[in-house]
Amino acid sequence: MEHMNKLNTIELFAGVGGFRVGLEKANPELFKVVWGNQWEPSKKAQDAFDCYASNFDEGIHSNEDITTVTDEAFKNLDAQIVVGGFPCQDYSVARSLSGEKGIQGKKGVLFWEIKRIVEATAPRYVLLENVDRLLKSPASQRGRDFAVMLATFRDLGYTVEWRVINAAEYGQAQRRRRVFIFATRNDTGFAKELESYESDDVLFDKGFFAPVFPVKREVIKNRRLHGVLPDDIVEISDTFSASFHNSGFMKDGEFFSIHTEPVFEKAVPLADILEPEETVDEKYYLSEAAVEKFKFLRGAKKIERTSAAGHKYIYSEGGMSEIDDLDKPGRTMLTSEGTTNRSSHVVEVNGRRRFLTPVECERLNGFPDNWTNTMSDRMRYFCMGNALVVGLIERMGQRIEQIEKKHTVEVPNQEKFFLEQP
């Protein structure tokens, strides 16, 4: 390991640093975040950035709107990896009026910043995270946004693999389902290795995800999709639609997608991440009134409401149990965690009901205890609702390490210098 070359990493939309925590857990010698960017739009207080800067020393920490950072900033970073969790927005494009600039995406859509930075740095690998809805968006033209993204990577010269992963199914304490997207530059040893396999083999065994997130070797419900993206990205944006499944692979515009099911690993129950009751501050316990309020919020209901246009309609929602089951992993944490909201976890211990503490929320995502103690409780819950499950990134980091080991050769007498195998 001491001979492994460093992989300079750019972390975009860093939040409180979930990608970096996971990659450094995988191998702190291999992954070096040289540039991390986090900026909370239109807010004076930059709690997530302050937390990031107080937990990490090395590298440049940028607290700027990414859209205002010029390509100059990335020039001498020698970045080999770009990572980031970015919002699901509208990725439609139009032909630019001048005709010279080619295509134009909507203003403020952050995926285009990722594209710009990948173009400026030509990293070996790109690892992204998003809500799984991205595969289906928008509702009126299913799969368009994801196809635009795939075509963007195709045009940049990358092979892409994706997988929807529910953290609880791979030994983590939270039922959090997200799509992870791994892109590798077409001239890397790994991209070339993938070319030699059948698409099913990539998705079942040989690709980026399967070795560290094993799946059963069967196409579930025979859900399979194979196609070729139109060359013209504006045509994709205007007319293309597809039902992408939870696993897939794209090379030179040809995509294969199947529905896979995980080989389940033992789930971590909520009970395992609770703090000892005697250390939990009184402020996290629910008053009698709050207990009643939660019964209502979590109960089944049908309520008459009036729309903005004045129409009366019935709003209904199904019931959920009054308290969260301690024998199961937690539910998906949202940014509203810890507020009186039906999505907040409510646990009952020794006959008393309470919220999860901020430390317990950090544990649900696999962060070290008190990672976010630089900010208020409200912001700690908020940042954990935005963050990712670092144990998943740790495995992806281990997978990148395996790939690096397989595809680099040491040059004799030149310690710490590797070349890509021909």
Q: Does 41 bind ligand SAM (CB under 6 A)?
A: yes
Is omega for the bond preceding 329 within 30 degrees of 0, making it cis? Answer: no
Cα 72 from Cα 115, distance rounded (Å): 15
Residue of 48, 151, 233, 356 that binds ligand SAM (CB under 6 A): 48
Shortest Å, Cβ 384 to ligand SAM = 8
* Closer of 67 and 104 to ligand SAM (Cβ): 67
* Closer of 362 and 404 to ligand SAM (Cβ): 362
Q: Does 343 bind ligand SAM (CB under 6 A)?
A: no
CA 307 to chain centre: 34
* Closer of 87 and 102 to ligand SAM (Cβ): 87
Mark 54-93 with x for binding to ligand SAM (rule: CB under 6 A) and - for no binding: -----------xxx-----------------x--------
Stretch that binds ligand SAM, among 7-15, 173-181, 262-270, 322-330 (CB under 6 A): 7-15
Within residues 82-141, the interface with ligand SAM by CB under 6 A covers: 85
Q: Does 13 bind ligand SAM (CB under 6 A)?
A: yes
* Closer of 41 and 351 to ligand SAM (Cβ): 41
**Tokens 């059948």 belong to which residue?**
198
CA 286 to chain centre: 32
End-to-end Cα spacing for the chain? 22
Residue of 18, 36, 330, 338 that binds ligand SAM (CB under 6 A): 18
Residue of 23, 25, 40, 127 that binds ligand SAM (CB under 6 A): 40
At 97 the three-state DSSP class reads coil
Contact between 20 and 36 under an 8 Å Cβ cutoff? The reply is yes
Shortest Å, Cβ 376 to ligand SAM = 16
> Residue 383 catalytic?
no
Mutual angle of helices 390-407 and 18-26, in 10-degree steps: 50
Stretch that binds ligand SAM, among 35-43, 166-174, 224-232, 234-242 (CB under 6 A): 35-43
46: Cβ contacts below 8 Å, ≥ 6 apart? 38, 39, 40, 63
Cα 207 from Cα 161, distance rounded (Å): 8
Cα 342 from Cα 298, distance rounded (Å): 5
Cα 49 from Cα 163, distance rounded (Å): 29
Q: By rule CB under 6 A, what count of residues binds ligand SAM? A: 19
Cα 184 from Cα 161, distance rounded (Å): 9
Q: Which residues are catalytic?
A: 88
Residues lying near ligand SAM in the complex (CB under 6 A) are found at: 13-16, 18-19, 37-41, 48, 65-67, 85, 386-388
